[in-house]
Structure 1
Amino acid sequence: MSHTQPPEARNNGGYGYDHGWYGGQDPSALPVHEQTMQLRVLPPPPPEADPGFSFVEEPLPGWTLPPPALMGWSADTGRRRRTVSLAMLAVVLIVQAALSLRLSNSAFEDEALYVWAGHVEIGSLFFGAPNYGGFDTYFSGAPVLYPVLAAAVDSVFGLAGVRALSLLFMLTATSCLYGLTRRLFNERAGLSAAVLFAVSMPTLFLGHFATYDAMAVCLLAVTAWLLTVIAPRHWSLAVPVALVAALAVGVKYASALFLPTLVLLYVLAAYRHHHVRRALLRGALFSAATLGVLFGGLAASGYLTAIRSTTTARAHGDTPAWQIIEDSGRWAGLLVAVAVVGTVTYARTARLSEIPGWRRAVPGRRWRTCLGVLLTGTALLAPAYQIHLQTETSLQKHIGFGLFFAAPMAGVGVTRLMGAHFKFPQWPIAIGAVALTLGLSQSAAYFGSWPDTRYLVPQLAYTVRPGQHWLGDPKEGPVYYLSRERRTSYQDWLSFFFIDYETHDGRHLSGIPGYRAAVRDGYFDGVVLDYSGGLPPAEEAVRQEMRTTGRYRLTSSLPYRTSTGGGHFEIWVRQDAGRP
């Protein structure tokens, strides 16, 4: 008596795989989740079986395996995933803080100016002292906001404390970026965006720079995050968030450039949970509330002159467009390029299901395209505006505003390049390494681009006496340190920016003639010059006048090095000027 086994059983020692599911259908034509694999054990043939009998067992119940997820993290909000994500975010923030705190230099002129302005404003607001600064006419932010806060911190902790305040603002911005990206996409995209933003040059630089830029970035970040939080909630919550947006513009007037992005982001986020009409009404309410607060504050403060001179009607320079584009590419090119990748791939497909809570399975292509273009395109606003002004002034700071909005799409770009289940880890490793290298080198180079006054200040402390008249370049940094020791005050110093000198015969002279006349008359007790390969026309005229008249003598020549070269400070003292 013979027995015929199925070919599978003969080839596998009695074990076979039955692929005849569903009445002999071709399994490749079935859905993935219905394709199963069943393992059958074929018993030995019974002795009484007919020689032509072929034993076939009925199919046993098998396991139905769902298709693997296209990404490692699902769209739910499990406690474990949130805990791991927050722990990784904490590591990112620690690294960001360490990289910013490694930067070292003496006070830059803007830092010293804003802190001094804050002390003047505090004296005027709370103690009735005269406000002789006129800061509301040329500051690019309200002098009663950040300068007052910086001066209060400076009174207790000094410049290090004010710079630590900027670091706190930038760490808050990175945290809000993670929260914003997590709500728009997922935790993995949020962490990728936070890493790229945290190690970028503008972020590291502003994190240790005591100006109002860090506070403005922080307030814009808080506004963007809050808008995604309140999008599914009651429409009235847009009003208090509008106060935060208006405060950001008050801190730095140029922040108004990013208000349209915030409005459109709010509309897109609201459309996730409401219909088009309700989303548009929410955006209109947020816009009206923000503009109402801004116009009310403008009417009460009278800062229109400063807004015109520093923002809307700022004087044009002569920097060519190609140079602005080149520098913008060096500082932000990598993040923007990855954001473009994220925008294109996200517009083509939403296969990774980045958005939890969508009212349909995946967002539509038009919505995805609008979101990507909006966020990535915002990074181009600051360079475009600087090209319009033909100036690079503060470009290294302004470009950080746009990078915050482009970072979410950069996070999506990293996740798409990485693939599901970290299939291509070489991409995030390479991008992260390049971003870290650029951020470290560029931030250190720019933070060391102004002269360190660590040797100049002690020498001036030995020379300067209270009540003397000094002419200086630099002025703000040395005066900031000396005024803390009550050796001088800002009223006793004049810069090379402007002079209105009254001669003995009653004539008023400005510009180079005014400086020459003041030197000839011995009006200044001392002069500080910054000689780095040459001097501007006004400083060169003063230097030649001092050498010609013989009323001043050179007492010190202090060399220094910067990331762009070197030079030396010259301290000239009037011949009959005494010492303490």
Structure 2
Amino acid sequence: MTSRPEHYTPQPYDPYAEEAAQDGWFNSDGYIPRQPQGYDIPETYDYDTRTYPYQQLADQQTFALRTVAVPERAAEPEYHVPETPDAGWDDTPSRRRAWLSRGLLAVLLVIQALLSLRLSNTAFQDEALYLAAGHNIIDHWANGTPLHSGYDSYFSGSPMLYPVLAAFVDGHFGLTGARALSLLCLLGASALLYSFTRRLFNERVALVATALFAVTQPTIVLGWFATYDAPAIFLLALSAWIIVRTGRAPVAAVLLAAPVMVLAVAVKYASALYVPTLLVLAALTAWHHRGLRCLPRALLLGAGTAGLAGLGLMYTDVLAGVRQTTTDRAHGTDTASALLEKSLEWGGLMFAVAVAGSVAYALRGRMNESPRSYGLDGPGWRWRALLGVTLTGTALLAPAYQIHLHTSVSLYKHLDFGLLFAAPMAGIGVIRLVGKHFRYPQLGIMLWVTALCLGVAQSEWRYGLWPDSTAVVKAIEPHLSPGGHYLGETYEVPVYYLRDKTNHSQWTSTYGIGYADKKGVVHHGDEGYRLALRDGYFDLVVLDGVGTPDQDASIERHVTASGHYRLVGRIPFRLSSGATGTYRIWVRTS
């Protein structure tokens, strides 16, 4: 059965019916008109889709063409993740870091100066002695005035050095100027301590070491005390700085420290106690770069120092003074336990921190927390241990020597020499106590504040241990005459303040006498005082009962028994220790 095709059947016209689509194959005779694109184009009466399949706009007139550069689009910003640094700070030296450290050093020096400047009292016996001697020597050089005493035989330093310099300053600026000279020396010593500690370790250790040294009692007191000690400490600090600074220089450069060391010993003979420390330091600072060849460096420095010292002894007369005040000094009566207790009281805190720092440094040599320094422990533990023992052990030299002599005279002053060398290790001790990244800053602050409080209290106490002499100087001034003879316990003070009216040769001390009677026999001790007072040898007697209380009581009895003297004044005073006393002044009446 075959399929038959469907035939088209015409239908009646329906005017309302929708027109059939004109897209069929049969209704278009095979032609499919193309529909216009876009919007519908309205058909007009003459529109014929067969003739005009679609309409387009007529061509427009073409003008001159030009090439237009298409602007390039700006590259969009890209984000790159930076590499994570191994440390959040830069541990390398920089100008900013150096100036910040120097600024903190300046603050510490200002604090040190203020602590010294707050002290106030009239001239101490030693200050008056050195300044009056300096004026006498200057007058001898300038005008030929005879020297009143053999200063070389009992001064603890060369009388031609510090006394002359201090007297020159005193002549222009008074006692304040002479004390300011000491302050400048101690400030210079602190600055040099910072410098060579920074070179040995780093800025942080240097700042802490300087901060501790600046607030100790000896440093505060000696900073406003016109004696040999301040310039001697400065010269020792300068010697240490030269030795450390020339560690990488040629070996001969270390000889620059030799004249400074000799000058320090000449200024104060006790400085020779610290020369071995400087020689060991000369070897240790060159060990990193020279190994065993550092030993010739120390030997060269020792030879140069010995040679210059020998020349000085040959052409000066200071050997008697060295024996009298240093090597053959008379022994006292203080016990070892009492001296040890005083040493711990005045320098024990800083020494204990230095010991802790030495141990910590020997165990771990790395000096910063930067991850870049992991595995860089610096020199070996033997070198670190030797450096710690050398610097910290130096603080024991003065107490040991004074215990040997059984005397506390000048102990607090000599402690400052050793603390200068122990300060770097004390700085390490505080840094290790604070911990990495300032983990426990309160511990370091607490320790420094404790040292500050001790230094302030002890220096105030120390500066009030001698009476104010203003009133007694005014009281005795009218009784002085060019040819008079006077007996006084601390006669150096009136000699200094009244040097235009009296001199050392007119005075006799209560510490000893050599009185020659009318027959030429010389009498010493209490018998000498008794005979001199019986004969009316002294025109004026001034006692205070502080330095030699037992001898003063005996002299007072002899004065009363002689019948030649009249009491003209009693001036009471009070010391910082709580003790009280009275100046007693007698003048001869017959």
Deviation for aligned residue 1:67: 3.7
CA gap 1:354/1:287 in 2 versus in 1, 3 angstroms? farther
Counterpart check, 1:433 vs 2:449? yes
Q: For residues 102-135 of structure 1, give each alpha carbon's deviation from its aligned partner in whole angstroms, at most 9, with x where no partner exists.
A: 1111111111111112122223344433233111
- Out of 278, 297, 307, which is 2:322 matched to? 307
Q: Which residue of 2 aligns with 1:558?
A: 571
- Out of 504, 515, 529, which is 2:529 matched to? 515
Contact 1:120/1:133 (CA < 8 Å) preserved in 2? no
Deviation for aligned residue 1:180: 1.1
Q: Which residue of 2 aligns with 1:322?
A: 337
Q: For residues 377 and 448 of structure 2, what CA distance do their matches in structure 1 show?
A: 32
Deviation for aligned residue 1:406: 0.3
Q: For residues 61 and 158 of structure 1, what CA distance do their matches in structure 2 show?
A: 71
Q: For residues 405-461 of structure 1, give each alpha carbon's deviation from its aligned partner in whole angstroms, at most 9, with x where no partner exists.
A: 000011111111112221111111101110000000011111111111121111112
Alignment of 1:122-521 (within 5 A): 122-277=138-293, 279-353=294-368, 362-483=378-499, 486-521=500-535
Q: Which residue of 2 aligns with 1:573?
A: 587
Describe the SS at the equivalent of 1:111: helix
Letter in 1 for 2:127: E
Letter in 2 for 1:546: V
Deviation for aligned residue 1:365: 1.1
Q: For residues 264 and 458 of structure 2, what CA distance do their matches in structure 1 show?
A: 27
Q: For residues 229-283 of structure 1, give each alpha carbon's deviation from its aligned partner in whole angstroms, at most 9, with x where no partner exists.
A: 1111122222221100110011111111111110111111111232321x11111
Q: For residues 113 and 534 of structure 2, what CA distance do their matches in structure 1 show?
A: 51
Q: For residues 309 and 348 of structure 1, what CA distance do their matches in structure 2 show?
A: 44
Contact 2:361/2:384 (CA < 8 Å) preserved in 1? yes
Describe the SS at the equivalent of 1:301: coil
Q: For residues 479 and 445 of structure 2, what CA distance do their matches in structure 1 show?
A: 54
Q: For residues 210-235 of structure 1, give each alpha carbon's deviation from its aligned partner in whole angstroms, at most 9, with x where no partner exists.
A: 10011110000011011111111122
Deviation for aligned residue 1:544: 1.1
Q: For residues 388 and 354 of structure 1, what CA distance do their matches in structure 2 show?
A: 44
**How many corresponding residue pairs?**
509
Deviation for aligned residue 1:68: 3.6
Q: Which residue of 1 aligns with 2:538?
A: 524
Deviation for aligned residue 1:512: 1.7
Q: For residues 95 and 356 of structure 2, what CA distance do their matches in structure 1 show?
A: 31
Q: For residues 371 and 73 of structure 1, what CA distance do their matches in structure 2 show?
A: 28
Q: For residues 328 and 68 of structure 1, what CA distance do their matches in structure 2 show?
A: 44
Q: For residues 304 and 354 of structure 1, what CA distance do their matches in structure 2 show?
A: 52
Describe the SS at the equivalent of 1:570: strand
Contact 1:449/1:562 (CA < 8 Å) preserved in 2? yes
Letter in 1 for 2:511: F
CA gap 1:268/1:315 in 2 versus in 1, 3 angstroms? same
Q: Which residue of 2 aligns with 1:16?
A: none
Unaligned runs of 5+ in 2: 1-78
Letter in 2 for 1:334: L
CA gap 1:354/1:543 in 2 versus in 1, 3 angstroms? farther
Q: For residues 306 and 142 of structure 2, what CA distance do their matches in structure 1 show?
A: 29
Q: For residues 412 and 87 of structure 1, what CA distance do their matches in structure 2 show?
A: 21
Describe the SS at the equivalent of 1:505: coil
Q: For residues 324 and 522 of structure 1, what CA distance do their matches in structure 2 show?
A: 41
Q: For residues 143 and 312 of structure 1, what CA distance do their matches in structure 2 show?
A: 18
Q: Which residue of 1 aligns with 2:59?
A: none
Tell me which moved more, 400-409 or 452-461: 452-461
Deviation for aligned residue 1:319: 1.0
Q: Which residue of 2 aligns with 1:65?
A: 84
Contact 2:516/2:523 (CA < 8 Å) preserved in 1? yes
Tell me which moved more, 197-206 or 151-160: 151-160
Describe the SS at the equivalent of 1:572: strand
CA gap 1:472/1:99 in 2 versus in 1, 3 angstroms? same
Alignment of 1:543-554 (within 5 A): 543-554=556-567
Contact 1:526/1:573 (CA < 8 Å) preserved in 2? yes
Contact 1:107/1:477 (CA < 8 Å) preserved in 2? yes
Q: Which residue of 2 aligns with 1:87?
A: 103
Deviation for aligned residue 1:350: 1.8
Letter in 1 for 2:440: F
Deviation for aligned residue 1:364: 1.3
Q: For residues 280-320 of structure 1, give each alpha carbon's deviation from its aligned partner in whole angstroms, at most 9, with x where no partner exists.
A: 11111111101110111011113222211211122222211
Runs of 4+ in 1 over 6 A off after TM superposition: 354-357
Q: For residues 548 and 396 of structure 2, what CA distance do their matches in structure 1 show?
A: 35
Q: For residues 490 and 294 of structure 1, what CA distance do their matches in structure 2 show?
A: 30
CA gap 1:550/1:226 in 2 versus in 1, 3 angstroms? same
Q: Which residue of 2 aligns with 1:9?
A: none
Deviation for aligned residue 1:61: 8.8
CA gap 1:257/1:354 in 2 versus in 1, 3 angstroms? farther
Contact 1:212/1:251 (CA < 8 Å) preserved in 2? yes
Which structure has the larger Rg over C-alpha atoms?
2
Contact 1:353/1:362 (CA < 8 Å) preserved in 2? no
Letter in 1 for 2:136: V
Describe the SS at the equivalent of 2:286: helix
Describe the SS at the equivalent of 2:549: coil
Q: Which residue of 1 aligns with 2:122?
A: 106
Deviation for aligned residue 1:463: 3.1
Letter in 1 for 2:527: P
CA gap 1:305/1:521 in 2 versus in 1, 3 angstroms? same
Q: Which residue of 2 aligns with 1:12?
A: none
Letter in 1 for 2:84: L
Q: For residues 502 and 340 of structure 1, what CA distance do their matches in structure 2 show?
A: 56
The percent identity for this pair of structures is: 49
Q: For residues 352-391 of structure 1, give each alpha carbon's deviation from its aligned partner in whole angstroms, at most 9, with x where no partner exists.
A: 359999xx76221111111111111111111011111111
Deviation for aligned residue 1:532: 5.2
How big is the alpha-carbon RMSD for the aligned residues of Structure 1 and Structure 2? 2.2
Contact 2:206/2:427 (CA < 8 Å) preserved in 1? yes
Q: For residues 466-517 of structure 1, give each alpha carbon's deviation from its aligned partner in whole angstroms, at most 9, with x where no partner exists.
A: 332211112111221111xx23222222212332222233332222222112
Contact 1:185/1:354 (CA < 8 Å) preserved in 2? no
Q: For residues 523 and 261 of structure 2, what CA distance do their matches in structure 1 show?
A: 45
Describe the SS at the equivalent of 1:264: helix
Letter in 2 for 1:536: D
Letter in 2 for 1:350: G
Q: For residues 512 and 588 of structure 2, what CA distance do their matches in structure 1 show?
A: 21
Q: For residues 473 and 572 of structure 1, what CA distance do their matches in structure 2 show?
A: 13
CA gap 1:532/1:181 in 2 versus in 1, 3 angstroms? closer
CA gap 1:534/1:173 in 2 versus in 1, 3 angstroms? closer
Q: For residues 337 and 554 of structure 2, what CA distance do their matches in structure 1 show?
A: 33
Q: For residues 204 and 254 of structure 1, what CA distance do their matches in structure 2 show?
A: 20
